[in-house]
Amino acid sequence: MRRTLLSLLLLPLSLATDWAAASASARDGVVSLTAETFDELTSPDREWGATIVLTALPAGYKCAPCHDFDPVYRAVARSWRRKPASVRDQHVFAELDFANGQEVFQRLGLTSAPTVFYYPPAAGERKAAKTGAVNFDLNRAGLGVPPLHAWVKSTTPEPFDMYMPKSPVPFILAPLLLAMALYAGYTARAVLLPVLTSRIVWGVATTLLCILFTSGYMWNKIKNAPYVQAGPGGRVSWVAGGYQNQLGLESQVVGALYGVLALTVVVLSVFIPAQSSPAKQRVGTYLWLALLIVLFSLLIRLFKLKNGGYPFGLL
């Protein structure tokens, strides 16, 4: 009689241990259910929490969202599996496929998949105030990992972080690619060294970088500025008024003006003095100086378009 009474008292504990063992042996910690085991897992006297996805993975059902969501769900379950057993065993991750539990789908009135439910503990020390199933709104949250993880984390006994295993491929390829690059550089050093030590190459590269960043490229990237915008009367406007506004095409025009202005300075300071003929020097100076003045006046006009109160001009 005592043994029978003790067995009855230990029956809930044995059931919990069975679910803990099933979770530990299941792939990614996700227990596959049937209609009978679904009812057992969600029984009214459960002392554990359970997250269950009702899905339809067989190819015959042609459920693309089910296949998209399956690795997401398993990634969250796999991350929970890394918790200590004393905590992990209090929450079960499971899945019920339509092929194994059509009556459950009909009972719950489900007409689409996947669907995720959380069943809080209904008995014991962790009994929830509301023991009914809670649905995760996949239509609103989407099929991604972050929303599912945030929702599941709010239901588990302890919060947990996502575990994303690192692929060993980058750690293998990176040293190999570095070694290949060093070997290629060493074998081509006779060609590369003159280029890398050339003042012309470094001068051109530095000038281009200065033009790129002073024209507003980084501002466009940070602010995600539009390329153009609609102006008055529906016309396309490529100049944004004000000091705090800028458009993509506007910065490209400014960069082009900066580039040609830089070229005129280089020509006037380097190439014109190198001419042996005084006549060529004189004509070249006049032409390139005129180009510099015209382009700089255009730059000032562009500045006045952005800021109508600017009083100065060149031409």
pLDDT in tens, 212-267: 888 888 888 888 888 888 877 778 888 887 778 888 888 999 999 999 999 999 99
> How much is the pLDDT for 169?
84
Query: Domain ends where: 125, 153, 181?
Result: 153
CA–CA separation, 239 and 27 (whole Å): 58
- Flag whether pLDDT at 13 surpasses 70: no
| pTM (predicted TM-score) | 0.53
Mean pLDDT of 11-36: 77
> How much is the pLDDT for 295?
93
Helices 278-306 and 248-266 sit at what angle, rounded to 10 degrees?
Answer: 160
Instruction: Indicate whether 170 belongs to any domain.
Output: no
CA–CA separation, 300 and 310 (whole Å): 9
Mean pLDDT of 16-32: 83
Q: Do both 129 and 204 map to the same domain?
A: no
Instruction: Indicate whether 166 belongs to any domain.
Output: no
| Confidence band for 176, pLDDT divided at 50, 70 and 90 | very high
H or E, element range at 54? strand 49-55
CA–CA separation, 294 and 315 (whole Å): 7
Q: Do both 197 and 147 map to the same domain?
A: no
> How much is the pLDDT for 224?
87
Q: Do both 33 and 87 map to the same domain?
A: yes
- Flag whether pLDDT at 24 surpasses 60: yes
Phi and psi torsions of 15, nearest 5° = -65, -45
Could you give the C-alpha distances from 28 to 95, 225, 237, in angstroms and in order? 11, 44, 55
Instruction: Indicate whether 218 belongs to any domain.
Output: yes
22: containing domain? 13-153
Please write the tens of the pLDDT for every residue from 142-155.
Answer: 999 999 999 999 99
- 171: helix, coil or strand? helix
> How much is the pLDDT for 5?
44
Q: Do both 149 and 203 map to the same domain?
A: no
Q: Do both 18 and 142 map to the same domain?
A: yes
H or E, element range at 230? strand 229-230
| Confidence band for 16, pLDDT divided at 50, 70 and 90 | very low
Residue of 33, 36, 35, 53 whose CA lies nearest to 102: 35
Residue of 71, 58, 65, 61 whose CA lies nearest to 114: 65
Using the Cα atoms of residue 41, residue 43, residue 48 and residue 54 in order, give the sign of their dihedral. Answer: positive
Q: Do both 19 and 146 map to the same domain?
A: yes
Q: Do both 92 and 216 map to the same domain?
A: no
CATH of the domain at 127: 3.40.30.10
Mean pLDDT of the chain: 88
Q: Do both 203 and 290 map to the same domain?
A: yes
Total number of domains in the chain: 2
